[in-house]
Structure 1
Amino acid sequence: MKLWLKGLAALSLGAALAVPTLAQEATPNTDISGTISVWTWPNNDRTFAALMPTFNEAYPNITVNVQGFPTANDAYLNNLQRALLSGSGPDVAMIEISMMALLRERPQWVDLRQAPYNAGEFIEDFAPFTVSNVTLSEGKIVALPKHTGPGGMFYRHDIFEEAGLPTEPEEVAALLSDWDSFIEEGKKLVVPNERWLIGNGEEILRAMTAQTGISYFDADGNLLFDEPVYREALERVREAGEAGLISPFTAWSPEWQGAFQRGQLATVLYGNWFGGLLKRAYATDQSGQWAVASAPGTDGNRSFNSGGDYIGILETSQNKEAAWAFVHWLVTNDESLKQQYQNDDLYPAYMPALEQDWMNFEDPYYGGQNVNEIFAPVQAEMVPVELDERDTIAIAAMRTAINNVARGVATVDEALAAAKAEVEAKM
């Protein structure tokens, strides 16, 4: 990590002299014309709409019709699955990371490795774990990686200061270096029934399992709930719950969202994209009060992924050339990635972008902190996890286990046994 930070510092020093432009491998012909349809979910639909003027500067003769369906793994997924089965649907479609294993084997995706796309020539320019997610065993590339979710710990440094704790990111990272210290020091940030260390126990378990590279299923499809990290993570959730560190709010509920604005949550463990929600929805008047530090670590590893999405072309598209122009531009073009990062905190999967000055700047929302100094090493060090089409079943069962342990409704053993039985019954 130190070497990476030195590299960032050197980049910053040299940025005034020269800023590299992103390579544009296999750039499609800008004279392409036609109309294409793109399916996605909120707020990607808004993001795409905002990009259209810039896209049309490069491709003035392509019209892009964007349709957003509510939630990536609900209405959107159902509509896309029906389209794949019926041979209908859009020219271009998004795939959320949790849906990748369920969708990538479908034959309706264009193989982007083949001409005229030739994505195999530059696929290694994307984060390695994203490449493995879109590449099938026979080598087919079903989509291009769009964004990832390198994880960290967002925290209210004014609350840390009030509690008498360090406030600078390096000092906070040193103080909360592992999950034991996170829980012990976190007790100082709590005001009973008014303020909590963290919103929900799922944040703890998700980070711990990802840091060890343990998924819900292994490559052979075996359920992994018996792996030690699940028990260890649930024990941390139990400790945090008993100490009153976990809020009573359900994640993503209006009450949970409002807790940020009310200053009731001292930390949150998600991918870098969560900063966009803080800035534009949950904590709009708290500029300068938030900062980002490395998450507490498991066996010394503090890196975890939290989210990510991909974009591919359907075989039924009647204008694959225009569809490819849009997909390629969206995920590799400098101005596209810049706008998506600075307007929506979407972290590029395209690795050359990480060296750009527009990703390495003093962000006033974080009190002048360059948060990419936290997220860039995470993207480089993340341990890939195995994706399985039954992940959603396992996620739901483990979420119940987490909530029951946090509230003291079940012991760790009872919660694990119930979660395992629930998943096995549906396999």
Structure 2
Amino acid sequence: MKTNKRAGWRVWLGHWFRQPRLAMLLGLACLALPPGAAAQQVLVVAAYPAVDQIVRAAIPAWQRLHPHVEVKVVSRQFADHHTAMTTALSTAVYLPDVMALEVGYLGRFSPGYGLEDLTRPPYDIARFKPRFVPYAYQQASNRRGEVVAVPTDIGPGTLLYRKDVLAKAGVSEAELTQSWDSYVAAGIKIKASSGAFLLAHARDIKNILIRTGIQPGEGLYFDNQSQVLVASARFVRAFELAREVRKHKLDARVLAWSGDWTEGFKRGSIATQLSGAWLAGHLNSWLAPDTSGLWRAAQLPEGAFAAYGGTFFAMPRKADKANKALAWDLIQFLTLNRDMQLRAFKAQDAFPALLEAHDDAFFEQPIAFLSGQTARLGWRDAARRIQAVDVHKQDAFAEEVIDTELDKVLERGKDIHAALADAERLLKQRATR
């Protein structure tokens, strides 16, 4: 029988290359490759809009310092992102090296042990504490004294209002801001003369009022000992004013981020909005750009100062150890680099958590959308006067409970004290879980 020498040679080579000797030789060959040919180290960042855009914009500058590191940004919609992060931390599967967290969700993660404690070496975040807006740094702390995330942007509360609608109603800014009662009274005048609603939903006034008058050691719904606070005077007043708004039909009964909410801003059927300063940028860029020049910004009524939103970067404790140093370096680049903070502010209206960025001339520039108003100076002042608010792992659940009870007050006429008592009872059962 004839033998195919070429085929036999292939069989012999295939057998030889399956031997352990091959692994050793290939390993030596890889070591001999030039640096540009070496496999890149990959860093994974999980984020949501528009934080994902901020990270992507910063990557080229960071990669100039780390040319052999690839950064992959995994982006999901806001709620989906936080659900995915909850699952990843609980299962330790598909953990990113860096994750973005909104302050409302930070409380879910900070009490546990899923995030890296940044107070420990080699991180030693306490050395950077004086460089951040105080209340934002405090929000990343837990009851064990750990700091589990780094603030990158904040949301100083503001009152945005349609100047044209107020002019038609003969209402001044002072009437809106003198007190919460005068704010509601101004809404009655606005509705009577123009038909416009004072605000989108009665919940909005509740959301701001429960964030004012918070004492040291307190959070929105719980104190630092997990005692429930929802039966306190600030919740009673928040519910009372929300009920007053609904009684006079001053709210459009539309929820934030809905189509009707957006249309209300476009048409001028919603005269004011209580929110974080970031909303002015959203209105300008995509919510209602055609209304440029019609809006103004003011401080919150009654001299109140409150935080509304904010973003943090954290590192999962069980993420790849080989990437920890790079992940920490990237977080510092995004949060402690003045230029990066200002870039994010100018591009995405992400108000800087880094105090060093607050002295930039950009704060003094007029905002065309607000008809030349230098509103950033007022927002900067508000940011420095906001008191620290402790976060709690049950904050998100507590918000759902309070909103449900408020709806019962607004829709069914439930007694306010009974509603808050029911909320308190339910939250006491969940406070320490």
Q: Distance in 2 between matches of 1:322 and 1:329?
A: 10
How far residue 175 of structure 1 moved from its aligned partner, in angstroms, is: 4.9
Distance 1:53 1:46, change over 3 A: same
**Amino acid paired to 1:242:** K
How far residue 231 of structure 1 moved from its aligned partner, in angstroms, is: 1.2
Q: 2:400 aligns with which of 372, 396, 401?
A: 396
Distance 1:159 1:165, change over 3 A: same
**Which piece of structure 1 moves more, 315-324 or 367-376?**
315-324
**Amino acid paired to 2:73:** V
Q: How does 1:398-413 map to 2 (within 5 A)?
A: 398-407=402-411, 409-413=413-417
**Amino acid paired to 1:212:** G
Q: 1:230 aligns with which of 223, 229, 235?
A: 235
**Amino acid paired to 2:45:** V
Q: Distance in 1 between matches of 2:61 and 2:325?
A: 19
Match of 2:312 in 1: 310
Q: Distance in 1 between matches of 2:281 and 2:195?
A: 25
Distance 1:265 1:58, change over 3 A: farther
Residue 226 (structure 2) pairs with residue 221 (structure 1):
yes
CA RMSD of aligned residues (A): 2.2
Residue 220 (structure 2) pairs with residue 249 (structure 1):
no
Distance 1:109 1:418, change over 3 A: closer
Give deviations 1:158-213, integer Å, cap 9, x for gaps.
111111123xxxxx146521111001112121259952001112221121121111
How far residue 228 of structure 1 moved from its aligned partner, in angstroms, is: 1.4
Match of 1:206 in 2: 207
Kindly indicate whether the alpha-carbon contact (under 8 Å) linking 2:169 and 2:194 is maintained by their aligned counterparts in 1: no
Q: 1:37 aligns with which of 33, 44, 57?
A: 44
Distance 1:262 1:422, change over 3 A: farther
How far residue 412 of structure 1 moved from its aligned partner, in angstroms, is: 2.3
- SS where residue 301 of structure 2 aligns? coil
Residue 301 (structure 2) pairs with residue 296 (structure 1):
yes
How far residue 81 of structure 1 moved from its aligned partner, in angstroms, is: 2.4
TM-score normalised by length of structure 1? 0.84
Residue 423 (structure 2) pairs with residue 419 (structure 1):
yes
Percent identity, aligned pairs only?
25
Kindly indicate whether the alpha-carbon contact (under 8 Å) linking 1:54 and 1:336 is maintained by their aligned counterparts in 2: no
Q: 1:102 aligns with which of 102, 108, 129?
A: 108
Match of 1:364 in 2: 368
Q: Distance in 1 between matches of 2:275 and 2:200?
A: 11
- The structure with more radius of gyration: 2
Kindly indicate whether the alpha-carbon contact (under 8 Å) linking 1:190 and 1:196 is maintained by their aligned counterparts in 2: yes
Q: How does 1:3-402 map to 2 (within 5 A)?
A: 34-71=41-78, 74-88=79-93, 89-166=95-172, 172-173=173-174, 175-190=176-191, 194-213=195-214, 215-297=220-302, 301-315=303-317, 316-317=319-320, 318-402=322-406
Q: Distance in 2 between matches of 1:69 and 1:295?
A: 32
Distance 1:235 1:86, change over 3 A: closer
Kindly indicate whether the alpha-carbon contact (under 8 Å) linking 1:146 and 1:349 is maintained by their aligned counterparts in 2: yes
Q: Say which structure is richer in helix.
A: 2
Q: Distance in 2 between matches of 1:359 and 1:52?
A: 25
**Which piece of structure 1 moves more, 317-326 or 284-293?**
317-326
**Which piece of structure 1 moves more, 305-314 or 42-51?**
42-51
Kindly indicate whether the alpha-carbon contact (under 8 Å) linking 1:146 and 1:310 is maintained by their aligned counterparts in 2: yes
Give deviations 1:330-350, integer Å, cap 9, x for gaps.
112222111211121111111
Q: Distance in 2 between matches of 1:192 and 1:425?
A: 47
Kindly indicate whether the alpha-carbon contact (under 8 Å) linking 2:201 and 2:251 is maintained by their aligned counterparts in 1: yes
Q: Distance in 2 between matches of 1:394 and 1:252?
A: 21
| Residue-pair matches, total | 385
Q: Distance in 2 between matches of 1:409 and 1:138?
A: 42
**Which piece of structure 1 moves more, 46-55 or 326-335?**
46-55
What are structure 1's unaligned runs of at least 5 residues? 1-32, 167-171
TM-score normalised by length of structure 2? 0.83
How far residue 85 of structure 1 moved from its aligned partner, in angstroms, is: 2.9
Kindly indicate whether the alpha-carbon contact (under 8 Å) linking 1:173 and 1:293 is maintained by their aligned counterparts in 2: no
